[in-house]
Structure 1
């Protein structure tokens, strides 16, 4: 009995040690970016892996000025906040209706949403830009080089995963609660917002976390849609450190740290919901 207990304890310690090693390897690139964001160019090229001689925040200040951090932050915040709000509202309502009207047509629509998750964005980006250009030229709807067009595309690409997660969680909500609210005189719109949507909080927070990480850090789609400097998001603004003849790696590192800090703060504030939400949405 004692030997089995010791073996079990050793196995647990080995598992924890392995997990620690994996975490170190996973976070090592972030550590490299962090230490090099405090170095000047000569110090960075001398030894990338060495610690900085001093913690000098002047490169952060220079990076904020060069990348127009305030304007880029506002653009990223607007795009992220509006996109996530629309995704959460429309996807939760869609998933609820698909679950409650459980017919063949509803199942087909749900499978279409799920199947679109399997299509890589790279296979769609050129036809997408051609379509948006046609809409701009023929229907006179500004879809390119506007934040509204970028938000519209974010909603389209983010809806599938959100509907999938909400769909699984809605199945766990007893329909008797909705029937009781209807008997008491609540409208269908009221049933959703007063009864169903508050119970979707874990999945809603999960969708928000995943979409914040995706939309805030996305470079490819904004680079295709946005061409004006005034409309650049934070990931696009980091490109200002790379010119035709110069590469300002130290300020680029500072800019990258400024980019990921808001996402880290948001994730730390909402992390307790993510496992619960994913498990509830995907399994139930």
Structure 2
């Protein structure tokens, strides 16, 4: 017979606080979605109230103003290319750093860890100047910059996860005649699926929503990403909040869909990565 868990005041208080905290975190999403269906006049009358009439024209106009499918393809190309490079190179680097026990490998790993706290604003001007000299202020250049800025955290996450993979697998593959590349891609990399999806989610959210780096690097109107296009809803003398909010809903939907598809791997990877 199943035993019912006793409800204590502590559990009740914890549940109430959890619900309140959840509502606080969800409130921005509620405000964005609700106001995206309002007219400009109704939006300024009350931002919290439900719309008297749901206006779908905001989304139609936002699609046109954003050149949604064109800018969506630019964001998608940059994000997918950056994520693929991050997953491959970060996992390879983390594997070699974890398996190579030496002072040099420890120093290199600590450099990656320390670089996580370096703010982008402190290096953005020299970086943009350098990329301009290399003629890489374009979509290709920004992919390489995302690889550089995202590799530190990615290597840190992969490094912790790889500790849970027995070294005997590497040795068995070597005995069977595999070289290092074959050992990694055939044996190790498939085992990194949970942490790879976690790394992909974290970096996708960052790269997809990033505004600052694309605004510095992508300077051609025909290659603008979605975050850059949404900026045009805010002019010097007027701000089209109803269209901007509709555009933000369109921008965030792909990330939410991707997150819900892959979320089951996050807890699994964190748990596995904590075990040596």
TM-score calculated relative to the size of structure 1: 0.92
Contact 2:78/2:143 (<8 A) preserved: yes
SS in 2 for 1:128: helix
- Contact between 1:164 and 1:281, CA under 8 Å: does it hold in 2? no
Matches of 2:265 and 2:227, distance apart in 1: 27
In structure 1, what is the equivalent of residue 177 of structure 2?
185
Partner of residue 245 from structure 2, selected from 253, 273, 282: 253
Task: Tell me if 1:17 matches 2:16.
Answer: yes
Alignment of 1:12-91 (within 5 A): 12-91=11-90
Structure 1 position 272, deviation (Å):
1.1
How many Å apart are 1:281 and its aligned residue? 3.4
* Distance change >3 Å, CA 57–CA 282, structure 1 → 2: farther
Deviation at 1:282, TM superposition (A): 5.6
Matched, 1:271 2:263: yes
Give the Cα–Cα distance (whole angstroms) in 1 for the partners of residues 275 and 222 of structure 2: 43
Give the Å deviation of 1:206.
Answer: 0.5
Pair 253,283 (structure 1): closer, same or farther in 2 beyond 3 Å: farther
SS in 2 for 1:178: helix
**1:155/1:202 CA distance change after superposition, 3 Å:** same
5+ residue gaps, structure 1, are 136-141
1:235-274 CA distance string (max 9 Å, x none): 1110121123221110000001011111111111111111
Query: Partners in 2 of 1:235 and 1:150 — Cα distance?
Result: 14
Answer yes or no: is the 8 Å Cα contact 1:35–1:51 preserved in 2: yes
Does residue 220 of structure 2 align to residue 225 of structure 1?
A: no
Per-residue deviation at 1:190? 1.1
Aligned residue runs from structure 1 range 26-175, under 5 A:
26-135=25-134, 142-144=135-137, 146-175=138-167
SS of 1:206's equivalent?
A: helix
Gaps of 5+ in 2: none
Q: Is the 8 A contact 2:87 2:196 kept in 1?
A: yes
SS of the residue 2:263 aligns to: helix
Q: What is the DSSP-based 3-state SS (H/G/I as helix, E as strand, rest coil) of the residue aligned with 1:194?
A: helix
- Give the whole-Å Cα distance in 2 for the aligned partners of 1:226 and 1:68: 16
Question: Alignment RMSD, CA only?
Answer: 1.6
Check conservation: 1:164, 1:282, Cα contact below 8 A: no
Distance 2:68 2:133 in 1: 33
Report if the CA contact (8 A) 1:34-1:257 is conserved: yes
For these two proteins, the number of residue pairs brought into alignment is: 273
Determine the C-alpha separation between the residues in 2 that align with 1:22 and 1:276.
Answer: 24
Deviations 1:207-255 (A, max 9, x none): 0000011000111111111122211111111012112322111000000
**TM-score, normalised relative to structure 2:** 0.94
Q: Is the 8 A contact 2:164 2:275 kept in 1?
A: no
Deviation of residue 14 (structure 1)?
1.4
Question: Structure 2: how far apart are the matches of 1:282 and 1:129?
Answer: 38
